[in-house]
Amino acid sequence: MTSIITVKNISKKYNITHERGGYIALRDILTDIGKHPFRFLKNKTKKIIGKETKEEFWALKDINFEVQKGEAIGIIGANGAGKSTLLKILSKITPPTTGEIKYRGRMSSLLEVGTGFHPELTGRENIFLNGAILGMAKKEIIEKFDAIVEFAGIEKFLDTPVKRYSSGMYVRLAFSVAAHMEPDILVVDEVLAVGDAEFQKKCLGKMDEVTKQAGRTILFVSHNMSAIQNLCKRCILLEDGKIKMIGETKEVIKKYLNSNLNLLNEKKWENLKFAPGNNVAKIKRIFSHKENGKISNTFDITKKIGITVEYKVLESNHAFTHGINIFNEEGINVFNSHDIEGSKEKEKMIGNYTSTVWIPGNLFAEGIFFIGIALLKQNPFFIHAHEQNILSFKVTDNMNGKSARGQHTGSFPGVIRPLLKWETKKLKEI
């Protein structure tokens, strides 16, 4: 099979500037060198410049892999693992510090909402602009124009400047252009999460069609393990800028989810600047706990599980609700749930809020489960904050006969194990 992308020894370095408090005199620097000359020479990653220090940060280190023609390959990892940096390098948006990449085909990328669009131009004009950027002839763009517009569902706004588009409309048009321009390689980031569920499903179907029927290659970054598993046979796991594992998607996802067990039962963001969210709301803390309020990462199969999220509303008069999604060890999406009362989407004022959802006992089977949390508007769909696989907990069955397994002590399959009510009666003889 032909390799369409070959990545050799890719690394990416950024220089981070740290501000130093107070004035630093030259004599202080010279004195420090005199006292600790070897330490000063050894520390090559930091350079003193006036009141600042510059530190080297390696977002990627020694990345090597090949992608075959017609392959859909997933790229997963925790936030900060280097996924987006890798895609920007692959998309030629930013150059690597070291290493090289060999391409054998035309590439299109969809990394951020509105990438490659001119805000002052209309949707119609941007289709032609984007196509030209991708190297398409005008005749070829015209042939695909109607299909692009129909797939994006923006007919009414075709001659409206895209700066007036919602984020969902941006994504629909951007994805439609990228997919219909028939690139040999399509690079897609988590940007699809901005679209509604129906459009996400439509996009995944299109990407599946692109690989299986048209024989094109896709690199897909997502926190949605179900989407990765459905689309990709092979997967790359990134951790701290390095490749942790490459292999069959199911095995890589299992490795990723189990490696996240150190997230355990609580996650806090002391500094809102780095907290998940936008200018409307930020998540401050999320934790799992027992009915008595005790934070825990292990729950008896018969007991309720509480998930509490604390967040801060930064702008008044925005209406949104809360939601969770739960995955098991194999990356299967067990279920999603939105706050029914919150779905009425009452406008919230500036301030701190807390919301708790209770998962009933005798619902999960034994095993390890992973929680994602979101602050979102349902109609039209828009996500203000979303953290996937941020918590993990274990459900245990002490075999006392009170769960749905009853007195059976052997293997008991299934992702969930609800304790259902049965009614049995003897029929009358005829």
Structural domain total, the chain:
3
The predicted pLDDT at position 37 comes to: 54
316 and 334 in a single domain? The answer is yes
pLDDT tens-place string over residues 250-305:
889 888 877 755 657 898 998 888 899 999 999 999 999 999 999 998 899 999 99
Please check whether residue 172 lies inside any domain of the structure: yes
State the CB neighbour count (10 A cutoff) for residue 267: 18
133 and 280 in a single domain? The answer is no
Please check whether residue 422 lies inside any domain of the structure: no
Of 235, 255, 275, the residue that ends a domain is 255
Pairing of strands 185-188, 107-110: parallel
230 and 322 in a single domain? The answer is no
**Residue 88 DSSP SS3:** helix
111 and 242 in a single domain? The answer is yes
78 and 222 in a single domain? The answer is yes
Rounded to whole angstroms, the Cα distance separating 66 from 1 reads 11
Rounded to whole angstroms, the Cα distance separating 299 from 418 reads 15
307 and 338 in a single domain? The answer is yes
Query: To 5 degrees, how large is the angle CA 50–CA 51–CA 54?
Result: 85
What sign has the CA pseudo-torsion 19, 21, 23, 25?
negative
Pairing of strands 305-313, 347-348: unpaired
80 and 209 in a single domain? The answer is yes
The encoded tokens of residue 281 equal: 């709301």
**Residue stretches of the chain with pLDDT short of 70:** 1, 17-53, 112-116, 190-197, 260-263, 342-345, 409
Greatest distance between any 2 Cα atoms in the chain: 108
The predicted pLDDT at position 31 comes to: 53
198 and 64 in a single domain? The answer is yes
136 and 174 in a single domain? The answer is yes
300 and 250 in a single domain? The answer is no
State the CB neighbour count (10 A cutoff) for residue 248: 13
26 and 142 in a single domain? The answer is no
The predicted pLDDT at position 132 comes to: 82
The predicted pLDDT at position 45 comes to: 47
The predicted pLDDT at position 42 comes to: 47
